[in-house]
Amino acid sequence: MEKKRVLFVSQEISPFLTKSNVANDSLRIAQSTQEEGKEIRVFTPRYGLINERRHQLHEVIRLSGLNISIDDQDHPLIIKVASVSAAKMQVYFIDNDDFFRRKEGLVKDDGAVCKDNDERSMFFVRGVLETLKKLGWQPDVIHCHGWFTGMMALYIKHFYKKDPHFKETKVVYHVYNDLFEGELDPRLSQKLTFDGFPKSVTEALKTPDFQSLTRLVLSHCDGLTLAEPILNPQLKSIYDEMNIPKLEFVEEEHQAKAFSSFFDGIIDATLVVK
């Protein structure tokens, strides 16, 4: 019997960045899902904060070289890879000099949000999906970690909806208390229009703040999993609105089987909304 395939996309992951619940959760859940017998792939951005020499990143030439157009500007895609020996898995890194070379993650040293996070997210998501096509690897489920990965649901349901490589792919979003302050670029809706997104998407992001983006993303998902036992009230209200299968918070020692079973139900469309 062919193994089910789960793709993990995370805005940061241990041991490359280790200061957040997102980094630690995404590694642990990916590792345990693999140990439960599923085939996995893991993708994350290659921020300039990541020490390539220490973590032994190297470029995968055969996967690099594609240009991805964001807001009518071409950006070269660079793919790197490193091993996490303790977890017996590889991590693929999406890299580009314009978006990820500088030594910062999603916020600057002074705490301010990077102004191009919207384009970085768009590039990251498309870079992941184009790389999967080159690999010839079709995910049954994509598990998204961190708000930065949320546009994955939008691209799967719209931009790639007619692509046979992803026609059966389901998207599950892992909900963290992972908010950003302020707004993304006010031109985000125009950039998505350029990519062919419908008005139902672009109008929802006329004010591209955390609440608007999260509500839109979650409404495009096939399932939700909870990373926190208690959600921020703003997030909780959005989460409660969604009438899709959900996995409530699970303690770490029970996560392996719980997540694996949840993914099975999403793939086989056997989960019912409670």
pLDDT in tens, 72-86: 999 999 999 999 988
Distance between start and end Cα atoms, the chain: 30
pLDDT band, residue 114 (cuts 50/70/90): confident
CB atoms closer than 10 angstroms to residue 42: 25
Q: What is the pLDDT of residues 242-263, one digit of tens each?
A: 999 999 999 999 999 999 999 9
Question: Would the pLDDT of 1 be above 90?
Answer: no
- The 3 state secondary structure assigned to 77-145 is CEEEEEEEHHHCEEEEEEECHHHHCCCCCCECCCCCECCCHHHHHHHHHHHHHHHHHHHCCCCCEEEEE
Average pLDDT over residues 38-67: 95
Residue 112 pLDDT > 80, yes or no?
A: no
Task: Please give the pLDDT value at position 272.
Answer: 66
The yes-or-no verdict on residue 274 having pLDDT over 70 is no
The pLDDT assigned to 58 comes to 96
Percent of the chain's residues with pLDDT above 90: 86
Tens-place pLDDT, residues 179-202: 998 999 999 999 999 999 999 999
3-state secondary structure of 64: coil
Write out pLDDT tens, residues 207-239: 999 999 999 999 999 999 999 999 999 999 999
Name 46's Cβ contacts closer than 8 Å, sequence gap at least 6: 52, 57, 78, 80, 93, 94, 95, 100
For the chain, the structural domain boundaries read: 5-266
Q: Give this prediction's pTM.
A: 0.96
Beta strands in the chain (DSSP E): 5-10, 39-45, 58-59, 67-70, 73-76, 78-84, 89-95, 141-145, 170-175, 223-226, 246-247
Report the topology of domain 5-266.
Answer: Rossmann fold (3.40.50)
